[in-house]
Structure 1
């Protein structure tokens, strides 16, 4: 097959392109080429999706399948559909479970209410002030894909993606922290969490292009309570740890934030998002998503952490100094 990956230099796009190349497909990656390299064996075509004619370098090329990993721009998605939507046989759009409107309500399936669509070009700065923007742009993008590609489209609402190339430091925080051992500050919560390794997600996306799988799926692994996941990570690492549990209220009082960002405990969901990571994985698993073992997922995340540097300034989590300070305050 001839596969166009809109992206291909970072995380999900890179992993999809690498998997497609590994299987012997001809892979073209369309990107600025500023965020990194494309996988060996793929061809980079430099484009600028911020401008109306930015895909012009691809004019005249034909593809059997397209994979679009556009993050926060509806216009990127629309322009790609205008250029290639009619000619390709399969179209995958990587969306997000952030598209759902009610993360505090128990989910029932992919038909759950979505956020209102917004046809804007988002930025990380805008998202800081408008946390629903990301999900709303994904909804608008999904609708554009459905309208243009119809029965040949697969929409993957991905959950928390882990593994090599992860730029968000959330799952990786726990892999490196538990590997270090000692007294580990954890949130005293019982909500579920779900992960999907980027390599497994990529393999499934390439499978879908090969087999013509279509529909809307939550791209997540099986759900389990966060305390169970943290215990399981410590077990596969053989880590000597003592969990120091603190209530959400106490953590907030001590300046520790949920989920992500500076001075946070990643994967801890606030009450307003209690069921965000309790999606039904069964449809995706039945359609071929095959999660690797937790040991493999943790090893991949930890290798990536070590490549980036364990002592770096993190996107999410607590520094050893901040964690010790909070644990001391709890003891006092």
Structure 2
């Protein structure tokens, strides 16, 4: 299979050369300007950050991408879809409040933010999935599908359900409406290991579906109410809540790849991963643990599969940071971070359905 080009730039900033200068240089060298942006609506899909979390990408990165799109004649907007769980992004009003609090204001980024699936997360488009095995029609936020061009700007980090979060997670899970997210999560129902539970109630506070309960000081999860979003797994301070089975996570990864396929099919797309503050859990949590590996750099490609694979390889090549969740461990960093997941599955499935390839040529930008 033919290799895809993935461009990379490190984070060293000398003689007044800022990270934002380097980001602009990276995406120029990677060929984003080859896309015809003139008069086109451009969705820049990102994560605005859950309030309290400080690992999310600062708006300065988005502002750099916005400026370049505008310079090329495009009409950019920042976008994301609402969440399944209790938090600061479960409806469009709260979501925009959270975005503004985290600095994503129009005067800071240079463009407006639109919540793609509307006020209550119900404004969706049913999109056929080419070669879909698990999903025949993906439920995508309407504003994201109305765009002529899609740019993914993702913070690369660990993830409790998929092993890592990069371009595929940003687009596939992030681009799904609330019903779409429920469809992707529907196979996984977490379990509580009673001997580890301390009855703190953190799982109850984060659940939007009244699934966790505490009886005699021990939590348990009502699977009839649970939608499998996995937020309770991340907030549990003792790791008492675990995914129901690895096969559920495998199906989640495959569905995310198929949702990404639906979003990318039939129009120009471009993908950027910023590999800094590689937190062990998703940015959807209202807090973040320390990074598990050193900052690596920024990557860009037209191929989201090759891009994510290059970032995985770069993260796994790092020595874990002392004092982090992985301090002192050896081997595959993503496997060690979340042993219940298999990060390979989503990439393999994405390649199988024709979204991209894991074979890449890494080109370093100076």
TM-score after normalising by structure 1: 0.39
Structure of greater relative contact order (alpha carbons < 8 Å, 6+ residues apart): 2
